[in-house]
Amino acid sequence: MTGTHPTFIEVFDTTLRDGGQTEGISYSVDDKLRIARKLDELGVAFIEGGWPGSNPKDALFFEQARKETWHTAKIVAFGATRRAKLKPEEDPSVRALVEAGTEVCAIFGKSSVLQVQEVLRTTLEENLKMIGETVAYLRAQGKRVIYDAEHFFDGFDQNADYALQCLGAANQGGAETLVLCDTNGGHLPWQVAATVQAVQKHFGPAVRVGIHLHDDSGCGVANSIAAIHAGAVHVQGTINGYGERCGNANLCVVIPNIELKLKLRALPEGGLARLHEVANFVAEVANVAPNDQMAYVGNSAFAHKAGVHVSAMQRHPDAYQHIDPKLVGNATRVVISELSGRANVVSKAGEPGFENIDAATSTKVVELIKAKEHEGFSYEAAEASAALLVRRLRPGYEPLFSLLDYRGMVSRHGDRHLAEATIKLKVRGHEVHTAAEGNGPVNAFDTALRKALLPLFPAVAEIQLTDYKVRILNGNTGTGAVTRVLIDWHDGGTRRWSTVGAGTNILDATWLALADGYEYALSAPVAATKESIA
């Protein structure tokens, strides 16, 4: 790292703009505002809200954003340099940047000879004017300008002199930061570092260099860290690595690497500990399942499954963790599975269902889990079922209810589909017999079970099934394969839990997961969070 490197790195978040280009993600204006507020709370320096000249939704976002109070971040309007042969004030896209009303604008321009000649279909000289004149015009309108040098690394490889001239035009126009973009995402860390150093040597220490990297070679995070180590003072990326094609550099990994590995600052005091919360919030708003294996903030980032690992962790918390997960708002988890040892079970003492577990019981639990997983069960993501398994081994255990029999029927009459389920339970010494229809057999079973339990357990009304997953375990046996069912639940508040069932009969597997879900929720003595239960 250079001796003159500043201690604070600017974080420029483009989740709302570049992240919105992810296949399958479509933000509403309200979604964008909610995410922007959360990013402001996190403490990023810049939030790129969108391209106001490209669509009405982004224009409306900036209109709404002007009514908000932003505490740590500057809202940024994104756009392009003027089109060839137009003056900046004549270009509707450039005028839209001014009308967005933001203090800061980010504009991109071409840095590659190939891009200028083959994509823009203009001259190299005209492209330089497009860059310099657009930056100067926005500066004359009182805007701070961040210049994104699109395709810079490819352009530098093809014709370094011209790529540097493009940066020079933006610098002379008054851009405060020159951002080098690996738009195609194909470069490697040492290439990125060498190019950043070459740019700094050319312009000197007075020019601020930033970095914007895509993940097409799987190196978005590594390239970002290499660039910062080489002297970049501004980094762009997205929460959870969202972005077009393979995504952008993932700020949920870049930021902790900056703070915990490079020992530089990227967020205000206390911001880093909110990263796990922000990652999950953005995923929820974007309607994308969180990546449990994501470094630092994934729910499995500090999960321990192998018995040897857990035993070592009991002796020292750093045995199999490179940081304290609390630093990024995450938590250590111990996973129960067929690979577990007794240490896995003992280490969970105090968690719901594992209270006061002794050595003899923990040995029985491990043996039973291994036997059940041989049958097709899996407790890694179904800790509510694991807790019930422990509870059922204890002397004096009595279930809240037990199944006497059930019947399911699925039929079709013309275009009309019908699913019906009847269930007979024993609840507190009494037989309860109910029936219900549903839009499918699972819905019918769930509805019938709710009808049976609700009179005695009013809390059933708050319990919601949020996800239902089916996995075929031995597909080579065709329709006779073992089926595993995993169900996720919540109670409308903070409690979330997951249960599992397995068997060659998908309805039996579904019943086991449904029954566990209700019994756990109605008998659990404490409120559980998603982190500790599911």
The total number of structural domains in the chain stands at 3
> 75 with 158, same domain?
yes
Q: How far apart are CA 403 and CA 512, in angstroms?
A: 10
Q: Which of 260, 286, 312 is the endpoint of a domain? A: 286
Walk along the chain (534 residues) in steps of 10 and give the mean pLDDT of each run: 72 97 90 94 97 89 95 97 94 95 97 94 96 98 98 97 98 98 97 98 96 97 98 98 96 98 96 93 83 90 64 62 90 60 47 56 71 75 81 83 90 82 90 92 92 92 88 68 86 81 89 92 54 32
- What pLDDT was estimated at residue 377? 80
**Which CA distances in Å does 2 have to 5, 59, 226, 227, 229?**
5, 41, 12, 11, 7
Q: Which of 253, 286, 319 is the endpoint of a domain? A: 286
> 311 with 353, same domain?
yes
Domain that holds residue 416: 401-447
- What pLDDT was estimated at residue 532? 32
Q: Pairing between strand 10-13 and 234-237?
A: parallel
Confirm whether 441 is domain-assigned. yes
Q: Which amino acid is at 19?
A: G
- What pLDDT was estimated at residue 375? 79
> 244 with 354, same domain?
no
Give one word for 506, left, alpha or beta, with left for phi > 0 and alpha for psi -120 to 50. Answer: alpha
> 121 with 201, same domain?
yes
Tell me if 376 sits within 8 A of 410, measured CB to CB. Answer: no
> 191 with 247, same domain?
yes
Confirm whether 433 is domain-assigned. yes
Task: Name residues whose C-beta falls within 8 Å of residue 450's C-beta, 6 or more positions apart in sequence.
Answer: 436, 460
Q: How far apart are CA 102 and CA 107, in angstroms?
A: 13
Give one word for 381, left, alpha or beta, with left for phi > 0 and alpha for psi -120 to 50. Answer: alpha
Residue 418 three-state SS:
strand
> 101 with 212, same domain?
yes
Q: Which of 357, 374, 392 is the endpoint of a domain? A: 392
Confirm whether 519 is domain-assigned. no
Confirm whether 5 is domain-assigned. no
Locate 24 and state its tokens: 């399958």
Q: How far apart are CA 260 and CA 229, in angstroms?
A: 13
> 95 with 40, same domain?
yes
> 220 with 338, same domain?
no
Closest Cα partner for 501 from 348, 339, 384? 384
Q: Where are the beta strands (DSSP E) in 185-300?
A: 209-213, 234-237
- What pLDDT was estimated at residue 388? 86
Confirm whether 518 is domain-assigned. no
Q: How far apart are CA 278 and CA 266, in angstroms?
A: 15
Confirm whether 461 is domain-assigned. no
Q: How far apart are CA 445 and CA 506, in angstroms?
A: 12
> 381 with 412, same domain?
no
> 229 with 334, same domain?
no
> 167 with 248, same domain?
yes
- What pLDDT was estimated at residue 317? 65
Tell me if 249 sits within 8 A of 218, measured CB to CB. Answer: no
Q: How far apart are CA 171 and CA 443, in angstroms?
A: 62
Tell me if 382 sits within 8 A of 335, measured CB to CB. Answer: no
> 372 with 274, same domain?
no
Q: How far apart are CA 20 and CA 28, in angstroms?
A: 10
- CATH code, 150: 3.20.20.70
Confirm whether 490 is domain-assigned. no
Q: Quick one: how many helices (H) and strands (E) in the chain?
A: 18, 16
Confirm whether 42 is domain-assigned. yes
